[in-house]
């Protein structure tokens, strides 16, 4: 005697469902409805968390930049080894960071994560440091922003006439 | 970009190319040689080894007779040089008459200290001057005195203190141009003459009172040479054509007799000299081929063959030995090797002593010269006999002492009269000469040991000298070859005596020298052609400036001294170096305009006169201008080239008037920019980073005009005394700037370089010397931004005098304590290094003043930030001269006339200086 079973579902391949789906039936159509599984929800949360993590990562240099700017401010605008080192690292750091931002925010191979926005934020923060550093450089007088910095382009003019009193005995 | 980063970047970029001097190389002089010039009079001390000379450039010196070392020398810089010298051995003084017979001075013969000085009053100031020393008995004792001829008067001064004893008028003739004094027995013989009319007057004066003992006048038909010779009984003079010797007795009224000496030398003699020979005279004639001297007979008989001496070029004064009157004659030996020196008994004409010396009077290349004058000395030999020595002055300005047929010492004094100099590159390779000397190891070790000994002061003086010699020998700077930095140079110098030298700038040695054959000698050296092929020698031109035509132009190979001559039919008063060159393969030929303005209007001649140079001038003639000045009348005039056509035969270029300018007072000084003056930057960056554009038109002249030099200020209206300085354009004659210094006058000395002018003058108001600095800026370019410079041509235009720009002139004045003889500036190859103003002081020293002390932007009062950034020195009304900044250190350059010729070499910061004086070169 067969065991009493009200209903059962065969999950094994080929088991219990050999009947073809009716026309117009879509197995995936069930998922699009309000009906979601717990696993799917978990999956979505994970993506959001990863996105938030990216943004946090993008904002992370802010404190470092602020500290760097403070350091640059404190080192002053006089031309000394310390202020020059601070300013040069203040310029070189953001440039390097921006150039390497692609490595910091690699593109998501599944295309589920938005890496562009955090990368932009990241670059803006570093650009702010670069801007501040350039401002310090300018305050030090090391930016070629005056005509006097381009005097090598001003050649000595050639004279068109020649006049001489000659050499003679006094 | 701030200055610090610019410097850092600049240094980083230049690091592989850096070449510079070491700090200890800066400001040191390499060598110094001192000269006295060729003697015109000399006195050999009869007992002590002393020799006193006075020379052509006006130097009085005492030398050690044993080795020719100069014990002391003084430049008697009165106009006219030294007119007479007498050594009074009894009181150990040398008495000199100088300044056209106006200054009588007595110097200690041993120490050179001035014992006394007297001004000789000359009445109207003209006429001849002469001096003789003698002894006067004032009743109690013999007193040494000197008699001075001052125009028409003869004055007697005590040699001990310079007190004037008496004065007597010896002539009332209106014009006198020759005179001589002689000392007889208790009398003074004064002979005066006017050479043009042949009028001769002989007066004998009493030494005691100055009373006229005898007098008579003659008029000789033959024109007179200016040399009057006073003998024991008579006065002799050579006729102006050197064909007669006329003599007249000092006492007695018989008329003068003239003896023909024409038979002595066939052809026209070039020169003649007459010497006193006791009761007779010795005449020496110089021809083109040979020279001869003869003793004139006492009576009217003809000259016998025993009294003729072949080859004689100079004779000495008469010396009495053992009651014989002897006279020395000197000339070139028959075989052309060396010279002879003979003593002649003037009574018999017999040669009593004869010797030959191996003395050669010539340069390392070129013709031989003769002995021009000789001075006799005597000494007592150990065997009790009398020996003779002679000081000989050669035609090459050499000074030699001969004794017993030996040349005891010889000095070349020609470099004491350098007229013009030029630095040139030495040859690239000389066979057998290495670029760096290869000293052997032992020699190097010895040098190190000596160096250590000197460092720890364990050396002797001899070792110190030996070390210096070894350092010189082991140093590469003295190699006669070109070096990569261009620091080794030859200094080509032309002297007044017609000698040409190539000196090595490392140690001042003579690389080659050459006697030029015929006067008038050239007085200016020019670089005519140089090549970029280092094996080709530069070519120089030697020109006589200021003489009438025709002129001789010498072309000289600067490495060997080989000379070729060319005669041009015009005189040369000015030389203009034209701004172009004609290229001939790797060589560049410079072009010149020789200007002859002896006729009152300038006539220009192109040199070299070649088809290429003519074509060049035809192309650019509209751009070529010439100007000249008449300082006395205070005028300047400018000329242009008419149509560029050059006469193919003579090279004549037609000039036309362009402008003329009158300053209404004499011109005291003109300073112009060197057309080829290198300028590094067009702009000056101020502390607030704005730009100031320099006014760099080289056709600009600075002219100072005011009351003429020499007119006493007391004779002028004190309120109207003012010095006007004018900056003008020499192409158009346009006055760009003018400033008046009230209460100031000359003498003015000025230097103009790049965009600045510095001048020195006397402030009558403040009774001090002042120096003013002026900087010229083009104020047409205001508010230039970065974009203007980067995106447009901006101010990078050509300059033209016909398109004047607004001029901004900054100026400041300072008090200085020193009188200035010359002003010039340093010059470097790129014009980058901060310039120094070289001030030749009245004490014949050269002070190198940093140009920053003469910056008109020196801030007055509190120093603003911009001034601090520019490192401007705060203004102070006094310019101090710091002892450490004297380029000559504790040495002087006696008779300094050019405070320094700076020649650039390829190192940017190195500048070679050559200071020139009539007496010394440093």
Percent of chain B whose pLDDT exceeds 90: 22
Q: CB-CB: which of A140, A153, A164 is closest to B789?
A: A153
Distances (CA, A) of B621 to B574, B618, B698: 19, 6, 18
Confidence tier at B15 by pLDDT (50, 70, 90): very low
Q: Which residue on chain B is closest to A80 by alpha carbon?
A: B4
pLDDT per residue as tens digits for the range B776-799: 998 888 777 788 777 765 555 788
Contact list in B for residue A138 (CB cut-off 8 A) is: none
Res. B312: pLDDT tops 70: yes
When pLDDT is cut at 50, 70 and 90, the band that residue B52 belongs to is very high
Weakest-pLDDT range from A77-86, A113-122, B305-314: B305-314
Instruction: Give the mean model confidence (pLDDT) for residues B486-511.
Output: 86
Together in a domain, B404 and B428: no
Tokens of B916: 């020139």
pLDDT, tens only, B132-159: 888 877 777 788 888 988 888 888 898 8
Pick the residue of A165, A169, A170 with the most B CBs within 10 A to test the interface with B by mutation. A165
Quote the ipTM score: 0.79
CB B219 within 8 A of CB B201: no
For residue B683, give the nearest of A141, A151, A165 by CB distance.
Answer: A151
Considering only CB atoms, A161 lies closest to which of B546, B625, B795, namely B625
Minimal C-alpha gap between B870 and chain A (Å): 13
**Per-residue CA distances from B906 to B31, B119, B255, B848 (Å):** 21, 53, 73, 21
Residue with the larger pLDDT of the pair B430 and B673:
B673
Please tell me the predicted confidence (pLDDT) of residue B756. 94
Residue B880 lies in a domain: yes
Chain A residue numbers with beta carbons less than 8 Å from the beta carbon of B579 are 162
Residue given tokens 């009085």 in the structure block: B60
Domain that holds residue A130: 40-142
Residues B306, B404, single domain; the answer is yes
Residues forming a β-bridge with B605: B594, B652
A7 located within any domain: no
Instruction: Take residue B232 and report the two structure tokens written for it.
Output: 């024991």
Q: How many CB atoms lie within 10 A of CB B833?
A: 17
Instruction: In whole angstroms, give the CA distance from residue B99 to residue B104.
Output: 9
B134 vs B137: CA distance, rounded Å:
10
Residue B305 resides in a domain: yes
Q: DSSP for A109-164?
A: TTS-S--HHHHHHHHHHHHHHHHHHHHHHHHHT-S--SGGGGGGGSPPPPBS-EEE
Does B291 reside within a domain?
yes
> Nearest residue of B to residue A154 by CA position?
B796
Q: What is the DSSP string of B790-845?
A: HHS-TT---B-TTS---EEEEEEEEEESS-EEEEEE---SSS-SPPEEEEEETTS-
Looking at the structure, tell me whether residues B404 and B429 fall in a common domain.
Answer: no
Query: How many angstroms separate the CA of residue B676 from the nearest CA in chain A?
Result: 11
Cβ of B5 within 8 Å of Cβ of A142? The answer is yes
For CA atoms B761, B763, B764, B767, give the dihedral sign.
Answer: negative
Over its C-alpha atoms, chain A yields an Rg (Å, rounded) of 35
Identify which of B579, B628, B789 has the shortest CB distance to residue A162. B579
CATH of the domain at B381: 2.130.10.10
Determine the pLDDT at residue B3: 38
Do residues B922 and B503 touch, judged by C-beta distance below 8 A?
Answer: no
Domain boundary among B452, B478, B504: B478
Does A168 sit within 8 Å of B626, measured CB to CB? Answer: no
Q: What's the pLDDT at B915?
A: 54
Domain boundary among B478, B502, B520: B478
pLDDT band at B735 (very low <50, low <70, confident <90, very high): very high
Q: In terms of domains, do B341 and B457 share one?
A: no
Q: Looking at the 3D structure of chain A, how many domains does it have? A: 1
B685 and A148 within 8 Å at the Cβ level: the answer is yes
Cβ B625–A167 below 8 Å, yes or no?
Answer: no
pLDDT digits (tens, 9 = 90+) for B72-116: 988 886 666 788 899 998 888 999 988 878 889 999 999 999 999
Given this model, what pLDDT does residue B13 score?
30
pLDDT digits (tens, 9 = 90+) for B640-652: 998 888 888 889 9
Q: Is the pLDDT of residue B500 over 60?
A: yes
With respect to residue A154, please indicate whether it lies within any of the assigned structural domains. no
Q: Give the per-residue pLDDT at B737.
A: 94
pLDDT in tens, A74-116: 998 888 899 999 999 999 999 999 999 888 888 888 888 888 8
- Does residue A51 fall inside a structural domain? yes
Indicate whether B828 and B681 sit together in one domain. yes
pLDDT the model gives residue B253: 67
CA–CA distance, B875 with B866 (Å, rounded to integer): 15
Q: How close B482 gets to chain A, by Cα (Å)?
A: 29
3-state secondary structure of B444: helix
- β-bridge pairing B756-763 and B683-685: unpaired
Q: E strand or H helix at B30, and its extent?
A: none
Chain B partners of A169 at a C-beta cutoff of 8 Å? 523, 545-546, 573
> Is A23 an 8 Å CB contact of chain B?
no
For the segment B793-814, the average pLDDT, to the nearest whole number, is: 83
Range of the domain at B816: 666-891
**Averaged confidence pLDDT in chain B:** 83
Instruction: Find the mean pLDDT for residues B810-816.
Output: 94
Does residue B429 sit in the same domain as residue B303? no
In B209-249, where do the E strands start and end? 212-219, 224-230, 234-239, 244-249
Q: Does A81 touch chain B (CB under 8 A)?
A: no
- Of the candidates B4, B681, B786, the beta carbon closest to that of A79 is on B4
Q: In the predicted model, what is the mean pLDDT of residues B251-260?
A: 76
Cβ-proximal residues to B859 (8 Å cutoff; 6+ apart), any chain: B867, B872, B874, B875
Model confidence at B604, pLDDT cuts 50, 70, 90, reads very high
* Of B251, B250, B255, the residue nearest B220 (C-alpha): B255
Residues of chain B neighbouring A141 (CB-CB closer than 8 A): 2
Q: Is residue A57 part of a domain?
A: yes
* A20 in a structural domain: no
Among B161-175, B405-419, B719-733, B898-912, the least confident range = B898-912
What is the pLDDT, as a whole number, of residue B776?
Answer: 94
Q: Which of A56-65, B295-304, B337-346, B885-894 has the lowest mean pLDDT?
A: B295-304
Query: What's the first-to-final CA gap in chain A, in angstroms?
Result: 147
Of B393, B412, B431, the residue that ends a domain is: B412
Q: What residues have CB less than 8 Å from B682, skipping those under 6 apart?
A: A151, A154, A155, A156, A157, B693, B694, B696, B795
Residue B270: what pLDDT? 75
Q: Give residues with Cβ within 8 angstroms of B62, minimum separation 6.
A: B50, B51, B52, B53, B70, B71, B72, B73, B94, B109, B110, B112
Number of domains in chain B: 3
Average of per-residue pLDDT across B15-32:
51
DSSP letter (8 states) at residue B362 = B
The verdict on B371 and B467 lying in the same domain is: no
- Name the residue in chain B with its Cα closest to that of A84: B5
- Look at residue B807 in the predicted model and tell me its pLDDT: 92
pLDDT at residue B7 in the model: 33
Q: What is the pLDDT of residues B690-734, one digit of tens each?
A: 888 899 899 999 999 998 887 887 788 877 889 999 999 999 999
Q: Are B672 and A130 in contact (CB under 8 A)?
A: no
Q: What angle in degrees, to the nearest 10, is found between the helix axes of B441-455 and B461-474?
A: 130
**Residue at A4 is within a domain:** no
What's the confidence (pLDDT) of residue B856?
92
CB contact at 8 A, B342 and B327? no
Strand partners, B765: none
- B454 and B365 both lie in a single domain: no
Per-residue pLDDT tens digits for B558-602:
988 888 888 888 889 999 999 989 998 899 999 999 999 888 889
Identify which of B4, B626, B680 has the shortest CB distance to residue A164: B626
Whether B50 is in a domain gets the answer no
Query: For chain A, what is the mean pLDDT?
Result: 83
């Amino acid at each position: 005697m067969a065991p009493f079973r009200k209903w059962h579902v065969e999950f094994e391949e080929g088991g219990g469902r050999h009947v073809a789906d009716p026309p117009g039936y879509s197995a995936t159509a069930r998922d699009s409805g309000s009906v979601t599984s717990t696993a799917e929800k978990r999956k979505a949360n994970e993506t959001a968390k990863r996105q938030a993590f990216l943004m946090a990562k993008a904002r992370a240099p802010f404190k470092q930049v602020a500290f760097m700017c403070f350091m640059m401010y404190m080192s002053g605008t006089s031309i000394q080894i310390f202020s020059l080192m601070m300013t040069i690292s203040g310029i070189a750091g953001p440039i390097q960071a921006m150039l390497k931002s692609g490595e910091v925010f690699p593109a998501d191979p599944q295309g589920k994560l938005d890496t562009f926005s955090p990368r932009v934020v990241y670059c803006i923060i570093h650009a702010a440091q670069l801007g501040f550093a350039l401002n310090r450089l300018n305050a030090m007088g090391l930016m070629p922003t005056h005509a006097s910095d381009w005097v090598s382009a001003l050649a000595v003019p050639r004279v068109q006439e020649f006049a001489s009193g000659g050499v003679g005995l006094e | 970009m701030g200055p610090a980063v610019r410097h850092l970047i600049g240094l980083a970029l230049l690091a592989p190319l850096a070449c510079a001097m070491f700090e200890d190389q800066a400001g040191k002089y390499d060598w110094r040689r001192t000269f006295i010039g060729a003697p015109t009079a000399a006195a050999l001390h009869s007992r002590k080894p002393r020799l006193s000379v006075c020379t052509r450039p006006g130097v009085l010196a005492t030398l050690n007779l044993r080795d020719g070392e100069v014990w002391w020398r003084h430049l008697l810089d009165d106009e006219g040089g030294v007119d007479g010298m007498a050594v009074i051995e009894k009181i150990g003084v040398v008495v000199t008459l100088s300044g056209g017979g106006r200054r009588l001075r007595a110097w200690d013969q041993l120490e050179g200290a001035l014992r006394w000085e007297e001004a000789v009053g000359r009445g109207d100031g003209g006429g001849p001057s002469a001096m003789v020393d003698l002894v006067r008995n004032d009743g109690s004792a013999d007193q040494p005195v000197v008699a001075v001829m001052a125009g028409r008067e003869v004055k007697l001064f005590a040699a001990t203190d310079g007190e004037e004893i008496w004065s007597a008028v010896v002539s009332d003739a209106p014009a006198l141009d020759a005179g001589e004094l002689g000392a007889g027995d208790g009398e003074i013989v004064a002979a005066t003459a006017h050479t043009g009319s042949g009028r001769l007057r002989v007066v004998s004066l009493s030494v005691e009172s100055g009373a006229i003992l005898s007098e008579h006048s003659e008029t000789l038909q033959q024109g007179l040479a200016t040399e009057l010779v006073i003998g024991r009984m008579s006065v002799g003079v050579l006729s102006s054509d050197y064909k007669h010797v006329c003599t007249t007795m000092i006492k007695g009224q018989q008329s003068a007799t003239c003896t023909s000496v024409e038979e002595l030398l066939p052809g026209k003699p070039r020169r003649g000299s007459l010497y006193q020979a006791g009761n007779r005279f010795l005449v020496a004639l110089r021809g083109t081929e040979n020279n001869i001297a003869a003793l004139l007979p006492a009576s009217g008989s003809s000259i016998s063959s025993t009294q003729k001496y072949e080859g004689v070029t100079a004779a000495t004064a008469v010396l009495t030995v053992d009651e014989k009157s002897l006279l020395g004659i000197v000339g070139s030996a028959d075989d052309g090797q060396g010279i002879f020196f003979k003593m002649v008994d003037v009574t018999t004409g017999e040669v009593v002593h004869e010797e030959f010396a191996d003395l050669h009077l010539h340069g390392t290349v070129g013709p031989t010269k003769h002995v021009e004058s000789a001075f006799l000395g005597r000494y007592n030999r150990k065997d009790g006999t009398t020996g003779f020595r002679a000081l000989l002055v050669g035609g090459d300005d050499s000074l030699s002492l001969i004794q017993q047929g030996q040349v005891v010492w010889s000095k070349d004094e020609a470099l004491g009269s350098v007229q013009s100099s030029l630095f040139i590159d030495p040859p690239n390779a000389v066979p057998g000469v290495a670029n760096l000397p290869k000293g052997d190891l032992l020699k190097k070790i010895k040098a190190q040991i000596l160096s250590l000994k000197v460092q720890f002061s364990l050396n002797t003086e001899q070792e110190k000298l030996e070390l210096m010699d070894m350092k010189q020998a082991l140093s590469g700077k003295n190699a006669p070859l070109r070096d990569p930095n261009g620091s080794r140079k030859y200094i080509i110098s032309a002297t007044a005596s017609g000698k040409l030298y190539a000196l090595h700038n490392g140690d001042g040695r003579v690389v080659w020298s050459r006697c030029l054959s015929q006067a008038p000698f050239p007085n200016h050296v020019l670089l005519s052609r140089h090549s970029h092929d280092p094996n080709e020698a530069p070519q120089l031109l030697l020109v006589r400036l200021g003489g009438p035509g025709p002129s001789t132009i010498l072309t000289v190979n600067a490495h060997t001294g080989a000379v070729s001559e060319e005669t041009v039919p015009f005189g040369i008063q000015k030389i203009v170096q034209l701004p172009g060159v004609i290229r001939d393969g790797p060589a560049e030929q410079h072009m010149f305009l020789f200007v002859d303005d002896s006729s009152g209007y300038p006539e220009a001649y192109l040199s070299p006169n070649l088809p290429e140079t003519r074509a060049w001038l035809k192309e650019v003639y509209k751009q070529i201008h010439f100007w000249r000045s008449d300082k006395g009348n205070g005028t300047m005039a400018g000329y242009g080239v008419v149509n560029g056509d050059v006469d193919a035969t003579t090279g004549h270029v037609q000039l036309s008037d362009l402008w003329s300018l009158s300053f209404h007072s004499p011109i005291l000084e003109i300073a112009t920019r060197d057309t080829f003056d290198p300028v590094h930057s067009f702009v000056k960056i101020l502390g607030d980073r704005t730009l100031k554009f320099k006014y760099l038109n080289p056709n600009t002249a600075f002219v100072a005009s005011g009351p003429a030099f020499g007119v006493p200020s007391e004779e002028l209206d004190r309120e109207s005394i003012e010095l006007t300085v004018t900056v003008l354009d020499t192409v158009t004659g346009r006055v760009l700037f003018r400033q008046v210094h009230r209460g100031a006058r000359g003498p003015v000395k000025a230097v103009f370089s790049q965009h600045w002018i510095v001048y020195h003058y006397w402030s009558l108001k403040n009774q001090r010397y002042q120096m003013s600095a002026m900087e010229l800026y083009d104020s047409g370019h205001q508010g230039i931004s970065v974009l203007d410079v980067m995106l447009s041509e901006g101010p990078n235009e050509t300059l033209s005098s016909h398109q004047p720009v607004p001029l901004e002139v900054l100026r400041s004045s300072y008090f200085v304590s020193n009188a200035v003889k010359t002003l010039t500036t340093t010059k470097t190859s790129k014009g980058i290094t901060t310039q120094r103003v070289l001030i030749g002081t009245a004490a014949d020293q050269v002070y190198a003043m940093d140009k920053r002390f003469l910056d008109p932007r020196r801030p007055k009062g509190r120093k603003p930030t911009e001034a601090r950034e520019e490192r401007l020195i705060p203004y102070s009304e006094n310019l101090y001269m710091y002892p450490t900044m004297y380029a000559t250190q504790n040495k002087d350059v006696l008779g300094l006339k050019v405070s320094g010729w700076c020649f650039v070499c390829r190192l940017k910061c190195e500048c070679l200086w050559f200071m020139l004086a009539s007496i010394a070169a440093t």
